[in-house]
Chain A
């Protein structure tokens, strides 16, 4: 129990630090962007043609953009502390409410991508560890190529091939189930490439270990050796590595959501940057940071579930 509480407490502290750092960093980035913030907001609200100097001044006064930056920063951080993320400068909607809609779309996409990558990468990695040879060598090449290709290229490739060339699935959208496979696969391919290699190395190491040999010589059938001993032992580094992969996932979500017009946090983040919508930008970045911490906390718990050695240490 102790280790469980410690792990969660550590992640809670991390979440608070992430909130503080992301808050300050977003604020600083928006401040340092060239161009007049009020003008960009006005053009986002009223359209490029309608954005006059007068409209910009009105926006500046309305949003208090003429206050000195330390006061605006303090107001923003105070808002985070009280879970008040403000209102979007563009739509005038409450940021927390908007994020609530988008969060579901991003979380669903992320989890589907993780599940797909595990479903593809882990069995392939184990097969490579067991068979070796050409399958293993080929897997290494494919994994390196996939990992080296940026997500937007993979996404474009899939779109061109499956949506445009073959017309099997829609290239964008969110409304129906057919819209999910392409963005999820784009994210999952990069993730699967890595989890395949990590699984392969972990399984190969466990297969060569004395305890696996003992499981065999004590008479267990090979299927039981794999199921009862190898999988769980190999699973420890694979799950731990998931935590590292989440970086790729969070980064990929921004690109993939924009590419597929996926109404999630990453998509909203890009729009907020373009519109200088500071509260929205800060809210999306904050949500992604906290999502990262939450998924890592889930990985921690999963590690403790697989490897009980850390539970009492």
Chain B
């Protein structure tokens, strides 16, 4: 057994019809080791994980050798492969918050894997689940339903449920997507703990910080191909392939530092603002002043009130105390917001053209002006005839920026606009926002949980909320 690695993959490809989505990938991961598969959306990295697991969507075909602890599994039937799930190969799903059963209490979701997968009797399984929850610091949430958990808590519950039967191989699919900085650090710690227990861990991610925290080895994927592999620290500090260089340079920690903003008339001033949700105070005595073209950042944990501050500044919510002053003679609608999840910010079944045209008509503008904005943002016009679900996240966020620009805003509240985007796309989007701030004198308040990004976007100290 010691000779065979926990996971060996040879010549693995995934095809949809005639199109190769993963091409000829070789991998080896030993027990206690970690492999990070890094790449942008659409690079095939998630499909690679699912091809190893054996849960590819219908219509996708995998070819090539996959061995787990020396045992070939690629030629097995679907039912035979399913017998490996949970027991030999564990998959930590994307978006654990959506992956937990919304109607089942947290402890039962863990206990059922102990009972039905690991084969313990129910009394024992419940005791094991209670022990898992205690170890994860979640004892108080044992009887909760998932909607009461934060993203980070849901992630820990999902790990416990996944690993109840102690599979030797753990595959984690984008485990930090949508989590704040504290929760990301927690995920890295949980995954390292799995390695220390002698498990092989494969992590699919676009999160450079997570890759750095995990160490081990890294494989960089681009357009279905594995373009570079090596020791994670070596590859991240001295990438050889051009794509890896571009990817690593997109890490906000590597961006050039901004210069301090000077001058300009103030467009927005919030004085000693306070807000509460129910009985809980979210923030108190916050002062915000932004001049034309200035960018400032807001930082703080999830649920801390960053979005509420935006609503107060935009005039959507009255502050509990304090005043918000806008520049004289500027209409309320020229204070705009950019949302975190661009998909959720568009009507799902209407074309993007209609979404933009509605704004043009409401404000009596010209379509030609929209086309000029789209050209400036490098949005191809043929994209507009699609619904939002058929456009990539980066492109859709640029359409959302274009929609905000139609009304010639003086202030943009950008609520984590790139937290769901890959680093290269994040960098392109942020650079665009910075250029627009300069060109148009657009003041911007950027919400982010990433301290590196905050430092890269504004020389001002970030406003801390929560």
Contacts and interface: CB of A to CB of B under 8 A. Distances in A.
Interface of A: 209-211, 213-221, 224, 228-229, 232-233, 236, 306-309
Interface in B128-150: 145, 147
A221 B55 contact: no
10 contacts: A209-B98, A214-B99, A216-B55, A216-B85, A217-B53, A217-B93, A220-B112, A224-B116, A229-B104, A236-B103
A29 B147 CA distance: 50
Nearest to A223: B116
B70 interface: no
B382 to A, nearest CB: 30
B117 interface: yes
Contacts, number: 75
A237 to B, nearest CB: 12
Contacts of B460: none
A221 B116 contact: yes
A41 B49 CA distance: 80
Given A211-B100, A216-B85, A219-B117, A224 B93 contact: no
A216 B91 CA distance: 10
Contacts of A221: 116
Sorted nearest first, the 8 A-B pairs with minimum C-beta distance are A219-B86, A219-B117, A214-B99, A217-B91, A210-B98, A219-B85, A210-B99, A211-B101
Nearest to B146: A211
Nearest to B94: A210
B396 interface: no
Contact of A218 (B103, B145, B147, B162): B162
B interface residue count range (under 10 / 10 to 19 / 20 to 34 / 35 or more): 20 to 34
A220 B117 contact: yes
A232 B103 contact: yes
Contacts of B86: 217-220
A219 B91 CA distance: 10
Given A210-B95, A228-B112, A309-B147, A218 B102 contact: no
Most chain A CB within a 10 A radius of its CB, from B94, B95, B98: B98
B170 to A, nearest CB: 12
B94 to A, nearest CB: 8
A93 B111 CA distance: 61
B103 A220 contact: no
B99 A213 contact: yes
A62 B161 CA distance: 77
Q: Is the interface of A mostly helix, strand, loop or mixed?
A: helix
A245 to B, nearest CB: 22
Interface string B111-135: 0110011000000000000000000
Contacts of A214: 93, 99-100, 158, 161
B112 A309 contact: no
B15 interface: no
B454 interface: no
Given A218-B162, A224-B112, A309 B102 contact: yes
A211 B99 contact: yes
> Which of A210, A214, A216, A220 has most B Cβ within 10 Å?
A214
Contacts of A219: 85-87, 90, 113, 116-117, 165
Could you say which of A214, A219, A220, A233 has the most chain B C-beta atoms within 10 Å of its C-beta? A219
Contacts of B91: 217-218
Contacts of B158: 214
Contact of A217 (B85, B116, B145, B164): B85
B15 to A, nearest CB: 22
B219 to A, nearest CB: 22
Given A213-B55, A214-B158, A306 B113 contact: no
A225 B90 CA distance: 16
A211 B112 contact: no
Given A218-B162, A219-B90, A220-B113, 8 more contacts: A209-B98, A213-B55, A214-B99, A217-B90, A217-B93, A218-B161, A219-B85, A219-B113
